[in-house]
Structure 1
């Protein structure tokens, strides 16, 4: 079967669920929080992927003060940063990241810098030179701000960027930025990415004749 090929000038990469499988940690921390709030754990898990924690809390408990959500988000980030048990790379991610060395790419994640660095290290993946993390945006995914900031920092038109994402919020953010989106893993399939892959095992990235990137899926 012939692989799908997409051309791009830069790749913008989500972290959790796309490069790093951190589901075990996310499940432990958020189900514990859900139980403390008297919320259904499955419903909470359907909301939290791809968003900053305080925004997930605002969706789940809309009557609560913003200050309380921010305070609990700080506690959640500390808990998640301290817990690395079960973190592994998404299949294919180590080779994929090795192929991107020296090519234009950026990490765009709803995690803060501390959590992002811990999880990438726990998965044995290199931390990109350019990363747009929670502290650097005023609006979290599904807002496109993070992806647009990364494109601007790389000096690449949004239409020439290819996003790799797994969550509904992330896919919506990438599409809203005017970018094409490669959906990674089972969560992505329901949210209409441009194309879909099971993981990163079959993804190959090379330079094309014009100096751009050729991505085979």
Structure 2
């Protein structure tokens, strides 16, 4: 293995909560209640597809033009950006900084493959831009997860064959994208949820090079 490629939300930092709050607020405006269980189906999915899923939930998928949908997605993002404006290095998930440093010292290339268009901004606020050799986000891909494009682009940018990459994700769609890219999949979460992952850690504190490599 030559490279590790990370998702952002739920792996590097828990900004997923802010996505939930922003979508919940938009849902309330549209008269579509969104609970945490439904929000799980939005994790790792693009903003556009998330909106489509919410509109289908409320049987309102045919109520808006493409332009109106774009405005709704922009409204959600504006709310999200305001919520994450105060994110700092204190919001990095436990063990992640140590793991990134360990990978750098061991000579691995490090990339990010995020479904968020705000990945650069969030990573900068976390003080982690220096830790990644390349960041691919939703603004630079055509197809969202579970399509493998974002992971394949990250591997290409790192000049590493996908089969020599390890992807780290917390969402079902993300794990599916990693597998579709031909990479080794490390899940962060519950084994009974991330069933397609090669290995699963319930806590980011358990992410160490030894713990990963001994399970490949």
Q: What's the TM-score once normalised by structure 1's chain length?
A: 0.82
Shift of 1:13: 0.5
Name the CA distance, whole Å, in 2 between partners of 1:31 and 1:16.
17
Aligned to 2:187: 183
Cα-Cα RMSD: 2.3
Name the CA distance, whole Å, in 2 between partners of 1:216 and 1:98.
19
Q: Is the 8 A contact 1:90 1:199 kept in 2?
A: no
Aligned to 2:58: none
Cα deviation, 1:132-190, whole Å, max 9, x if unaligned, reads 1111100111111011111122222211111000011111111111111100124x741
User: Residue 97 of structure 1: which of 89, 97, 100 is its match?
Assistant: 100
The alignment covers a number of residue pairs equal to: 200
Shift of 1:215: 3.5
Question: Where is the strand percentage greater, Structure 1 or Structure 2?
Answer: 1
Name the CA distance, whole Å, in 2 between partners of 1:175 and 1:117.
24
Name the CA distance, whole Å, in 2 between partners of 1:216 and 1:25.
35
User: Residue 202 of structure 1: which of 195, 200, 206 is its match?
Assistant: 206
Name the CA distance, whole Å, in 1 between partners of 2:198 and 2:115.
21
Gaps of 5+ in 2: 56-60
Shift of 1:44: 4.2
Name the CA distance, whole Å, in 2 between partners of 1:189 and 1:94.
27
Gaps of 5+ in 1: 1-7, 207-213
Name the CA distance, whole Å, in 2 between partners of 1:199 and 1:123.
19
Name the CA distance, whole Å, in 1 between partners of 2:109 and 2:41.
31
Name the CA distance, whole Å, in 2 between partners of 1:179 and 1:202.
20
Aligned to 1:163: 167
User: 1:1-217 alignment to 2 at 5 Å?
Assistant: 8-42=1-35, 44-61=38-55, 62-63=61-62, 64-84=64-84, 88-101=91-104, 103-112=108-117, 115-127=118-130, 128-186=132-190, 189-192=192-195, 193-205=197-209, 215=213
Shift of 1:97: 1.9
